[in-house]
């Protein structure tokens, strides 16, 4: 029997340089996809997967995130006075949807270091990691799919996608082989962060969802800076592989890189087309464009 996965860590200390100038003052996690900040999609995915406690690893200039998931007394009082019951419910629901803890990453030392900052809050149990830039639309929430795999197999589970060509160099890449019994599972034997195309051990790229065993914390404590001079989560998980099984898992669903301008445009169009209140109007608008 595996322990339940109750906690999710959201590394959210990054500077968001790929989205300048929008992210000069506004945290990238707060950029709106249709009408919700991208981090809220990750939080809702976790809640729909049975996660009970969310840990945001934040940094300087990220206080808008804390305010977003808190009550807003002035706004709520105004909405109440104006009789805007539905909007009041929307505002209050965000403040009460999740039990959230915050920890600061005081220096931008890398994703592995960000996850390590959550060690005390997570404790000695398996946990999820959600990179909020990666927004995933799925028939069953991606984290829930991964918890299923974890409870069947144990070991750590990394979400993966096949990436063709030089774009692979933006990812952590797995070495290993597909599982003979389950084509969605990949038995890892190694992994490398942001390899050159020629050095990539496979086309299996790590996407921003992980289920990790707590042993990764002690390994991250001794992980040396790697790609880009940063303490990489991929290198910590590579060290974990010396002790425990690690699986890649091709999740069911579609991932959008909402931390990237083009990825955000794609997500905006597709999420808008999925929203019943303006899908028809938006489709008609797109069709009317002289493309």
Q: Which is nearer to ligand G1P, 43 or 207 (CB)?
A: 207
How far apart CA 73 and CA 75 sit, in angstroms, is 6
Q: Which is nearer to ligand G1P, 126 or 208 (CB)?
A: 208
Task: Answer for the pair 203, 164: CB distance below 8 angstroms, yes or no.
Answer: yes
Q: Which is nearer to ligand G1P, 76 or 230 (CB)?
A: 230
Minimum Å gap between C-beta 119 and ligand G1P is: 18
Minimum Å gap between C-beta 257 and ligand G1P is: 7
Minimum Å gap between C-beta 233 and ligand G1P is: 6
Q: Which is nearer to ligand G1P, 141 or 263 (CB)?
A: 263
Minimum Å gap between C-beta 29 and ligand G1P is: 13
Which residues make up the interface to ligand G1P (CB under 6 A)? 111, 131, 134, 171-172, 193, 205-208, 232-234
Minimum Å gap between C-beta 78 and ligand G1P is: 38
Q: Which is nearer to ligand G1P, 91 or 250 (CB)?
A: 250
- If you write DSSP's letter for every residue of the chain in order, what string do you get? -PPP--EEEEE-----GGGTTTTTTS-GGG-EETTEEHHHHHHHHHHTTT--EEEEEE-TT-HHHHHHTS--HHHHHHHHHTT-HHHHHHHHHHHHS-EEEEEE--S---HHHHHHTTHHHH-SS-EEEE-TTEEEE-SS-HHHHHHHHHHHH-SEEEEEEE--GGGGGGSEEEEEEE-SS-TTEEEEEEEEES--GGG-S-SEEEEEEEEE-THHHHHHTTPPP-GGGS--HHHHHHHHTTTS-EEEEE-SSEEEETTSHHHHHHHHHHHHHT-TTTHHHHHHHHHHS--
Output the residue with the shortest Cβ distance to ligand G1P. Answer: 172
Task: Answer for the pair 69, 58: CB distance below 8 angstroms, yes or no.
Answer: no
Q: Which is nearer to ligand G1P, 79 or 128 (CB)?
A: 128
Minimum Å gap between C-beta 18 and ligand G1P is: 9
Task: Answer for the pair 225, 110: CB distance below 8 angstroms, yes or no.
Answer: yes
Minimum Å gap between C-beta 89 and ligand G1P is: 33
Q: Which is nearer to ligand G1P, 95 or 109 (CB)?
A: 109
């Amino acid at each position: 029997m595996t322990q339940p996965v109750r906690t999710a860590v959201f590394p959210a200390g990054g500077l968001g340089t790929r989205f300048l100038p929008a992210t000069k003052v506004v945290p990238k996690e707060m950029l709106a996809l249709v009408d919700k900040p991208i981090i809220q999609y990750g939080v809702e995915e976790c809640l729909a997967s049975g996660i009970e406690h969310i840990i945001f690893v934040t940094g300087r200039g990220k206080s808008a995130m804390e305010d977003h998931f808190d009550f807003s007394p002035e706004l709520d009082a105004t909405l109440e006075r104006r009789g805007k019951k539905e909007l009041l419910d929307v505002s209050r629901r965000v403040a009460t949807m999740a039990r959230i803890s915050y920890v600061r990453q005081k220096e931008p030392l890398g994703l592995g270091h960000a996850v390590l900052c959550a060690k005390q809050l997570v404790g000695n149990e398996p946990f999820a990691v959600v990179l909020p830039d990666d927004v995933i639309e799925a028939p069953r929430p991606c984290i829930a799919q991964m918890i299923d795999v974890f409870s069947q197999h144990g070991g750590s589970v990394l979400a993966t996608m096949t990436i063709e060509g030089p774009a692979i160099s933006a990812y952590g890449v797995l070495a290993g082989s597909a599982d003979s019994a389950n084509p969605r599972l990949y038995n890892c034997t190694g992994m490398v962060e942001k390899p050159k195309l020629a050095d990539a051990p496979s086309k299996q790229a790590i996407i921003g969802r992980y289920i990790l065993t707590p042993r990764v914390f002690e390994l991250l404590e001794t992980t040396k800076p790697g790609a880009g001079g940063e303490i990489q989560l991929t290198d910590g998980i590579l060290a974990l592989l010396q002790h425990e099984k690690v699986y890649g898992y091709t999740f069911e669903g579609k991932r959008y890189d909402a931390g990237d301008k083009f990825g955000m445009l794609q997500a905006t169009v597709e999420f808008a087309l999925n929203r019943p209140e303006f899908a028809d109007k938006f489709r008609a608008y797109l069709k009317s464009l002289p493309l």
